[in-house]
Amino acid sequence: MATFVERMVRAARLDSAVYEEVEADRSATAQATAVVVLAGIATGIGFTLRSGAGGLVAAGIGALIGWYVWALLTYFIGTRLLREPQTRADLGELLRTLGFASAPGILRVLGVVPGIQRLVFVVTWLWMLVAMVVAVRQALDFNSTARAVAVCLIGFLVQCGVFILLMLLFGVEPLP
């Protein structure tokens, strides 16, 4: 069985096989949670130059809440509204695959480097969005990448909204 770090690297490399692996491995839920927490902490660290400790707390909490809300929404949209005939999934499968799709977010720690914070956040958000498409396509057994993109865009917008709302509640400017 692959190690936690190997799974994160493969997820960041958009290896569809790792998403199938974590989808089927019920014990990987804790690992997926750890990936989300690590990405949240990295986001908070990347924001600390602009936002202080409040950004670290808000990013960590926002990552966990956003992940869960996004997984719920993705589950509903993917299994009810945009399902394909072969679509079979449960919330745990989506939590695991979407959690690992957060792996590129760990690079947000590089936001502490002066002058590249905005670039780091844009690149990692786009990278995570592509990873989400791969994760959703695998978790929902979609044949259509376009369908996975539609599900992800809706879920991603909601997740971003939750993140921005929490940042504002903690008094932190949400965009670098």
Please check the confidence at residue 130 and state whether its pLDDT lies above 80. Answer: yes
pLDDT given for residue 175 in this prediction: 59
pLDDT given for residue 147 in this prediction: 95
Domain range summary for the chain, segments of one domain joined by +: 4-169
Please identify which residue in the block is written with the tokens 């932190």.
172
In tens, the pLDDT along 98-117 reads 999 999 999 999 988 988 98
pLDDT given for residue 76 in this prediction: 92
pLDDT given for residue 52 in this prediction: 67
Please check the confidence at residue 133 and state whether its pLDDT lies above 70. Answer: yes
